[in-house]
Structure formats: structure tokens, C-alpha cells
A and B are shown apart, each in its own frame.
Chain A
């Protein structure tokens, strides 16, 4: 059975590790957290994730599960309390669809807005806005993607709310506001205020400092 012996290899400001922390917290699962040095990857990490060599890795009874969305599904399959995915097959498919859409379409564009400059940056900003608007249509008038309670999409995508604000601040762009995306904007504010969610998010100023430094390094040597 589920039992004990749960370990999470992560990095303090990784949104992908954050997803997993949220899921574990919501299910009340106790785990050992291991902070990985991503510059000098541990032999443990390389052994557990030879294909990607990335965090997060969830280790349960010594067996590794990698790729954050795969980990979320594994957690939901293994620990049945506080289900993350809906019961209904169609609703499950819809939830998986939006999580994939956010990862495939919103995140790269948002990263582009952060990392690029000039015309390419403008293009990325526009793309991010368009895709975030589409994401908003998946939320609709609901409080959360999961309905009245948070669910799979909220856990998978919720980090974007924080990172959009970081990107806006550091890269000096406007991605989501109350005028252009009132529903998504409201969810961006509502979701991180939930106690279980808030507890896991690193302090804003630490995140900001880390991302400013990252941004500086990225834009320093560019023509």
C-alpha cells in the first residue's frame, strides 16, 4: 500500500517541483525533501532520472517517478484521499487537455517574454497573451479550474500565476491584467492565497531576486 518512504528531489524555485509539493500537501502525504544542486547534479538524481537528469523526482519505496505531470497522476492514483483528477472520464480528459495546453503553449511564450529581447520579445508577449486568454476560456466563471475546489489543472497550472507576475516585473511587460483577462486575473489572485498553496510558494522577494539575477545574466552578453 501507500505507506511511508516518500522522497522528493527538487529545487527551491522550480515551479515543476512546486506542483508536486502542492499535490503532496493537499493529500497530507509526509515526505523527505531533498534540495538538489542543479549545477552539480547529485549521483542520486542522475541515477533516478537518466533520461532527462532533471528535477522533480518523486521516489516512493525506492522507485523513482519523473516528469511533474506524470508524478501528479501517480500521486492521485496511489493516495486516494482528496482526489485531484475528476471521476468522470470526460472531465478528466478536459483537465489533462488544459494542463497540457498551459505547458505546451503558455509556458514557452511566457519564457520567451522573459528571455528574449526586441522584436522577438514583443512577439513572445503577444503569443503569451493570446494563449493565456485561451487558457482563461478553460476556467470560465468557475472559482477554480476544478470547480469550487482546486483540482488537477489548478495544481498543474497555478504556478503560472506567480511566474507571470515575476516576468511582468523583471522583464517589464504586461501579460495579464483585470481589464484584458478578468477571470484569469482573479484566479491568479485567488489561488495563491489558499493556505495550503501559499505555504509552499517561496517568498516573493527571494523569487524576484533570483529571477532578476537570472534575467540580468541572460540579457548581459546579448547584442
Chain B
């Protein structure tokens, strides 16, 4: 059963990766304490719980720290194994879900993030094209995974929904800042509808930041990042 106050999530409200852990816990209806970290002054608990990376999210269950967002989601699914499941039960479907989550993190997200810091219109356009093309692959995957149901996970939010959905706020912010379209009707109509359903899901709508709040924060971060990373020649 849920060990309510024994479960903690160390994180920050805007982080998509932290959101993954929180959505997973919400799906399982596990009570947890959310400890907001100041990434400029990391807590002792964070440094002790994630000495290797010193990053959020960290899930602490009793005395056990678990790091890396997708690993955390799988852990949550393993521990609170009562329905609803996050990963599919069939090994092949599980492999497909793991594949897409890894693809999003390793191939798609770096391009998305890159748009924020791209120098020059050509570089930006190349990344935008990359992001949109990848989203079209994800749209195709949605068709196969959902099998006509509302989510990648079927009737319920699953692993890929969580892995991808956490980026929706960031996508909207990047679209707004750059006056571009990334996730839109013409290219990825099913994902547009899915995005709306995802954001309204009870496990999600409490932890998905408002686009306006996120935009304000993004502005500050971009200035900081640009100062710390001078343009490459």
C-alpha cells in the first residue's frame, strides 16, 4: 500500500522530468510530499540522494532514493503494482513503449531544447524541421500504440503518454517565443487531440504548469543560459 509521508519527490515545478514522477504517482494514487528544490542552492537531501548527477527528479521511498525520471516511472509501476499499469503487460508492447520514451529523450528532446538556444535563423529552422518530423513519427506511433483509444497506453495514460506529455508545456512556450508551430493540426492532428486529453487528465492537470508561468521562467532561463554559453563560432 502507499507509504504516504514516506514517499517524497525532490523536484522543481517547471521540470518536465519531475512531472513524469508526479504523474506516475498520481496515476497510482500514492500520496507523496513534493519538496521544491532551489537548483541554485541544492539541498543536502538532494546531494545525498543523487550524488552521481545531483539532479532532479529524485523519488525517495522510505530510505531508498531512485533517480532518472524514466527509471523512477518504471519503479513506481513495479512497486505499486495494483491497477492501473503504466507499462503495457505484453513484452512486445513494453519494448515499443520503452523505445519511444528513449527516442523522445535521446533524439527529439535535444532538438527541441536546441530551438531555444539556436543561433541564427537557419540553425533554428533546421531544428524546427527536425522536431516536427520526429513528431510525425510519434503521431504514427500513437496510431499503433493507442489502437483507436484515447492514449498511447490505451484507455489509461501509460508510459509513453507520461514520457511525452510532460513536454507539452515546453512545446507551447517554444512555439510562443519563436512564433512557430511544432505540434499542430496540419502535421500531427491526432497528437493535437491527444495533448488536450492528456492535459485534462486528473493525474496531470494538477502538475502541468500554466504556459504563462512557464514562459516567464523560460525568459529568465534563456538569458542566464545565453550568458553562460557564449555563441559558438
Report the bound CA distance from A50 to B141 in whole Å: 12
Q: Closest approach, in angstroms, between the C-beta of B78 and any C-beta of chain A?
A: 4
* A189 CA / B64 CA spacing, docked (Å): 31
A90-B98 CB under 8 A given contacts A51-B103, A74-B91, A100-B71: no
| Cα–Cα, bound, A101→B50 (Å) | 12
Which residues from chain A contact B78 at a C-beta distance below 8 Å? 89, 92-93
Are A73 and B71 in contact, with the CB atoms below 8 A?
Answer: no
CA distance A93 to B75 in the complex (A): 6
**Which of A50, A63, A69, A92 is in CB contact (< 8 Å) with B92?**
A63
- In the complex, whether A97 has a CB less than 8 A from a CB of chain B is yes
Interface residue SS majority, chain A: helix
Q: Does B217 contact A (CB under 8 A)?
A: no
Query: Does B74 reach chain A (CB closer than 8 Å)?
Result: yes
A67 touching B74, Cβ below 8 Å: no
Question: Taking the complex as formed, is A70 at the interface, i.e. its CB lies under 8 A from any CB of chain B?
Answer: yes
Q: How far is the CA of A97 from the CA of B52 in the complex (A)?
A: 10
The answer to whether B68 has its CB under 8 Å from any CB of chain A is: yes
Interface size for B (C-beta < 8 A) is: 22
Neighbouring A residues of B68 by C-beta, 8 Å: 96-97, 100
Question: Are the C-beta atoms of B52 and A77 separated by less than 8 Å?
Answer: no
**How many A residues have CB within 8 A of the partner chain?**
24
> In the bound complex, do residue A74 and residue B75 qualify as a contact, i.e. CB atoms below 8 Å apart?
no
Question: For residues 7 through 21 of chain B, which have their beta carbon under 8 Å from a beta carbon of chain A?
Answer: none
Contact with B along A49-93 (1 / 0, CB 8 A): 011100000001001011101110110011000000000011011
Establish whether residues B79 and A89, one from each chain, have CB atoms under 8 Å apart when the complex forms. yes
Question: Is A96 within 8 A of B74, CB to CB?
Answer: yes
Q: Are A73 and B137 in contact (CB under 8 A)?
A: no
Within 8 A of A (CB), among B62-116: 64, 66-68, 71-72, 74-75, 78-79, 91-92, 94-95, 98-99, 102-103, 107
Do residues B75 and A89 form an inter-chain contact, with CB atoms below 8 A?
A: yes
Q: Which 8 A-B pairs have the closest CB atoms?
A: A89-B78, A77-B91, A74-B95, A93-B75, A70-B98, A65-B95, A78-B91, A93-B66
**Apart from A97-B67, A97-B71, what 15 extra A-B contacts exist at CB < 8 Å?**
A50-B137, A60-B92, A65-B99, A67-B102, A69-B102, A70-B99, A70-B102, A77-B91, A90-B61, A90-B64, A90-B75, A93-B66, A93-B71, A93-B75, A100-B68
